[in-house]
C-alpha cells in the first residue's frame, strides 16, 4: 500500500528530474570506485582484505548512496526556497568555519580543513562552496532586480560577500584550493550578471597591489613553495621534496602509455593516488584512452549543466547552474593540472572520481540543484535557447 501511495510521486520525479545528468554522474562514480580500488590495493601487501582496500571502497560506495539522496533532496526542494533562507545558509557557513577553528584537524598537507569524529571526516569547505553558490545567486539576482548592478554600493555588496568567505577559509583552514575555487565561482557569476568590465580591471589592479602584502605576511613558506614549484624547478630540483607527489604522478601517467599497464608493471605507489591524484591512476591502468574518457565524461556533465542554465529562463536559476558548472570546470582543470605538473598541488579533488565522502555528497547535491532547475514547471517561451 505504501508503495502504491508514493508511486505517482516517484513517476513524477523520473519524468521531471534530470535523469541524464544523474546517469552520467553515477557512471563517473562507479568508474571512480574501480580506479580507487586499483589505487589502494597497491598500498597494501596481500591484495584485497577487509581491513585495508575494502574499507576505502565501502566508504566511497556509502558516500555515493548518500550523494544520490542529496541529489533527490535538492531536486525536489525548490532552489528559490533555499535562496529565500539565505540568512540560515549563511549561518550554517559561519558555524562550519567556527567548527573548523575549534575542532579542525590537519589533513597532512598543512591545511586545517577537516573535522573528524567517530572515525568520520567532514570537509566543511565542500559544503560552504555549494551554499555560497545559492546565497550569491540570490544576492546577485536581488541586486539585478532592485538596484544598479554597476553602482559602487552594489559591487561592494557582492565583492564583500565573496571576500568574507574567501578570507575566512584562508585564515581558518589555510585551504588555498577551496578558496581558489570559490574565487573562480564568484568571478564567473559576477561576469555573467553583466557587471561592466572596468570593475574587473579595477579589481585586477587591486589584487596585483595586494599580492606582495599577501605573499609576505599571510602565506606560509610551504604554501609559497607549493604555488611556485610547478614554474621554478630550483624549488625542488631532485623531485623528492615538495614536488614529490607531482613527480610520482607524472611517472605514473607516463607508464600507462596508450592503453595502460597491468598490476605487475605499476610505476609507483604514493600518498594521494586515490584522492587528489586519481587521474594518474586512470592513466596508469587505462592509459591515454582512459584519461580521454574521463575528460569527455566530465565535459559532458559541464556542457549539460550550462545548457540547463541557459534554458532555465530565470537569472537566479541560470546563476546557480553556471556557479555549479564553474566549480566543476575549475576543479577538473586544477586537478588534472596538478597531476601533470602545470598547476600547484593545492588539494583539489577530481569531481566524482576522487576518494572522499564530503566531495562526493556535495557534488551530487550540486547536481541536484541543477536537476531542480529542470524539475520546475515553466512555460517553454521562457527559455533563453531552444
Q: Where are the domains of the chain?
A: 18-382
C-alpha cell of 16?
521531471
Residue 104: strand pairing partners: 115
Mean per-residue pLDDT, 11-18: 84
CA dihedral (376, 377, 380, 386) positive or negative = positive
Say what the pLDDT of residue 366 is: 95
* pLDDT value at 265 more than 70: no
Within 10 angstroms of residue 272's Cβ, the number of other Cβ atoms is 21
Is the pLDDT at 327 greater than 60? The verdict is yes
| pLDDT > 50? residue 324 | yes
Q: pLDDT at position 263, please? A: 66
Report the distance separating Cα 269 and Cα 150, nearest Å. Answer: 52
pLDDT value at position 275? 84
Helix or strand or coil: residue 140? helix
Q: Are 311 and 385 in contact (CB under 8 A)?
A: yes
Q: Which whole number is the average pLDDT over 119-129?
A: 83
On the question of pLDDT at 385 being above 60, the answer is no
- 178-227 pLDDT, tens per residue? 889 999 999 999 999 999 999 999 988 988 888 888 787 777 787 788 78
Per-residue pLDDT band for 43 (boundaries 50, 70, 90) equals: low
Mean pLDDT of 11-26: 90
Q: Give the chain's end-to-end CA distance (angstroms, integer).
A: 41
C-alpha cell of residue 228: 611556485
Q: What is the pLDDT of residue 110?
A: 61
* pLDDT computed for residue 47 by the predictor: 45
- DSSP letters of 35-76? HHHHHHHTTSTTS--TTTHHHHHHHHHHHHHHHHHHHHHHHH
By percentage, how much of the chain surpasses pLDDT 70?
Answer: 89
What are 117's strand-pairing partners? 120
Neighbouring CB atoms inside 10 A of 12's CB total 12
Q: What are phi and psi of 351, to 5 degrees?
A: -55, 130
- What residue spans of the chain are helical by DSSP H? 2-16, 19-41, 53-76, 79-84, 86-103, 124-146, 152-173, 176-192, 197-217, 221-228, 244-256, 278-312, 315-340, 357-375
Contacts of 299 (CB under 8 A, 6+ apart): none
What pLDDT was estimated at residue 307? 95
Distances (CA, A) of 193 to 135, 318, 319: 14, 10, 8
Please give the sequence-ordered ranges of beta strands (E in DSSP) within the chain, or none if there are none: 104-106, 112-117, 120-122
Q: For the chain, what is the mean pLDDT?
A: 85
- What integer is the mean pLDDT of 48-71? 82
Is pLDDT of 26 > 90?
A: yes
Q: Work out the pLDDT band at 345, boundaries 50, 70, 90.
A: confident
Max avg pLDDT among 1-10, 49-58, 202-211: 202-211
* Residue 271: per-residue pLDDT: 64
Q: Is the pLDDT of residue 347 over 50?
A: yes
More confident residue, 95 or 266: 95
Residue 173: pLDDT band (50, 70, 90) is confident
120: which strand partners?
117
Residue 74 C-alpha cell reads as 535538492
In what order do the strands lie in the sheet containing 104-106?
104-106, 112-117, 120-122
Q: Where are the beta strands (DSSP E) in 211-271?
A: none
3-state secondary structure of 319: helix
Amino acid at each position: 500500500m505504501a508503495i502504491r501511495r508514493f508511486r505517482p510521486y516517484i513517476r513524477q520525479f523520473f519524468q521531471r528530474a534530470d535523469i541524464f545528468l544523474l546517469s552520467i554522474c553515477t557512471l563517473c562514480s562507479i568508474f571512480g570506485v574501480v580506479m580507487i580500488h586499483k589505487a589502494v590495493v597497491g598500498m597494501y601487501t596481500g591484495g584485497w582484505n577487509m581491513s585495508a582496500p575494502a574499507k576505502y571502497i565501502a566508504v566511497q560506495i556509502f558516500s555515493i548512496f548518500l550523494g544520490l539522496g542529496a541529489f533527490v533532496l535538492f531536486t525536489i526542494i525548490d532552489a528559490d526556497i533555499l535562496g529565500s533562507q539565505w540568512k540560515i545558509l549563511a549561518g550554517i557557513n559561519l558555524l562550519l568555519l567556527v567548527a573548523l577553528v575549534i575542532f579542525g584537524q590537519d589533513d597532512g598537507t598543512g591545511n586545517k580543513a577537516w573535522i573528524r569524529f567517530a572515525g568520520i571526516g567532514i570537509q566543511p569547505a565542500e559544503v560552504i562552496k555549494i551554499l555560497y553558490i545559492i546565497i550569491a545567486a540570490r544576492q546577485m539576482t536581488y541586486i539585478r532586480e532592485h538596484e544598479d548592478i554597476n553602482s559602487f554600493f552594489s559591487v561592494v555588496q557582492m565583492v564583500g560577500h565573496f571576500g568574507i568567505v574567501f578570507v575566512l577559509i584562508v585564515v581558518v583552514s589555510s585551504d588555498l584550493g577551496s578558496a581558489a575555487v570559490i574565487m573562480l565561482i564568484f568571478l564567473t557569476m559576477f561576469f555573467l550578471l553583466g557587471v561592466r568590465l572596468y570593475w574587473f580591471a579595477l579589481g585586477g589592479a587591486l589584487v596585483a597591489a595586494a599580492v606582495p602584502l599577501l605573499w609576505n605576511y599571510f602565506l606560509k613558506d610551504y604554501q609559497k613553495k607549493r604555488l611556485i614549484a610547478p614554474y621554478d624547478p630550483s624549488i625542488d630540483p631532485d623531485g623528492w621534496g615538495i614536488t614529490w607527489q607531482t613527480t610520482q604522478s607524472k611517472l605514473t601517467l607516463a607508464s600507462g602509455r596508450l592503453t595502460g599497464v597491468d598490476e605487475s608493471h605499476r610505476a609507483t605507489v604514493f600518498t594521494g593516488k586515490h584522492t587528489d591524484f586519481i587521474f594518474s591512476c586512470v592513466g596508469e591502468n587505462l592509459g591515454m584512452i582512459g584519461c580521454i574518457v574521463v575528460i569527455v565524461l566530465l565535459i559532458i556533465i559541464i556542457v549539460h549543466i550550462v545548457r540547463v542554465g541557459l534554458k532555465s529562463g530565470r537569472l537566479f536559476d541560470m546563476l546557480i547552474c553556471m556557479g555549479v558548472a564553474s566549480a566543476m570546470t575549475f576543479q577538473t582543470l586544477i586537478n588534472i593540472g596538478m597531476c601533470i605538473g602545470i598547476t600547484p598541488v593545492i588539494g583539489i579533488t577530481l569531481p566524482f572520481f576522487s576518494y572522499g565522502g564530503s566531495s562526493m555528497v556535495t557534488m551530487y547535491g550540486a547536481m541536484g540543484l541543477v536537476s531542480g532547475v529542470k524539475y520546475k514547471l515553466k512555460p517553454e517561451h521562457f527559455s533563453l535557447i531552444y
